[in-house]
Amino acid sequence: MKTEQQYFNDAISIQQYMDTMTTLKEESFRIYDSFEVPTNDGFIELLKGKQLKILTITEDWCGDAMLNNPIIRRVAETAGLEMRTVLRDADTDLIDRYLTNGGRAIPIYIILDDAGQVVGKWGPRAPELQELVVSKRASLPDKEDPTFEDAQKALYVEIREENITNKSYWTFVYEDFKKQVTAALQ
């Protein structure tokens, strides 16, 4: 069984991944180009003081990845951390170690120390955004309802647009990532 460090060694950089995306690429870059990492809260300094790497499990069709990857990439770049990506569906052995409520939810960010040991993880979604998604999904008709599929598609479009334009969502991602990683490093 491959270790997380071996997956990291075989992975592509987040830049390569984003540059070659075929779905949600423009939307991801809209967030990437606009997000500014806070530099006055001590988080970047904490990260710079550690020799960490970030291994991301993702897919380019995922709306949560469209939101989270650009933000975590900016954090990694600002702190001088190497961030690499693997595709969830290319090798499910890795994602199966990091299930969310029994499912292969993405993106997942695995924090590795300089020796390649897992010191923390984050993902797939900030708690505030999870609450929003759960409450929005509750308004959908029953799955047996003939309008369910169209209503679900419309809901996903609405959530995706909010993820792109609502900068408070970006803050939720940054703050929860900071909270989880800081706790893991202490």
Walk me through the domains of the chain, giving residue ranges and CATH numbers: 4-125+167-185 (3.40.30.10)
Instruction: Determine phi and psi for 118, rounding to 5 degrees.
Output: -75, 125
- 3-class DSSP state of 32: helix
Sign of the four-CA dihedral 22, 37, 107, 87: positive
Distance (Å) of CA 2 to CA 6, 9, 52, 100, 121:
6, 11, 19, 21, 18
Q: Per-residue confidence at 176, pLDDT binned at 50, 70, 90?
A: very high
Residue type, 5: Q
- What pTM value is reported for the model? 0.96
Q: How far apart are CA 98 and CA 108, in angstroms?
A: 8
Residue % of the chain over a pLDDT of 70: 100
Which tens digits make up the pLDDT trace of 7-38? 999 999 999 999 999 999 999 999 999 999 99
Angle of helix 63-79 versus helix 167-185 axis, rounded to 10: 60
Whether omega before 107 lies within 30 degrees of 0, making that bond cis, reads: yes
Q: How far apart are CA 11 and CA 13, in angstroms?
A: 7
Which tens digits make up the pLDDT trace of 77-129? 999 999 999 999 999 999 999 999 999 999 999 999 999 999 999 999 999 99
Residue 139 has pLDDT above 90, yes or no: yes
Residue 186 has pLDDT above 90, yes or no: no
| DSSP letter, residue 141 | P
Half-sphere exposure of 185 (CA within 13 A, CB side): 23
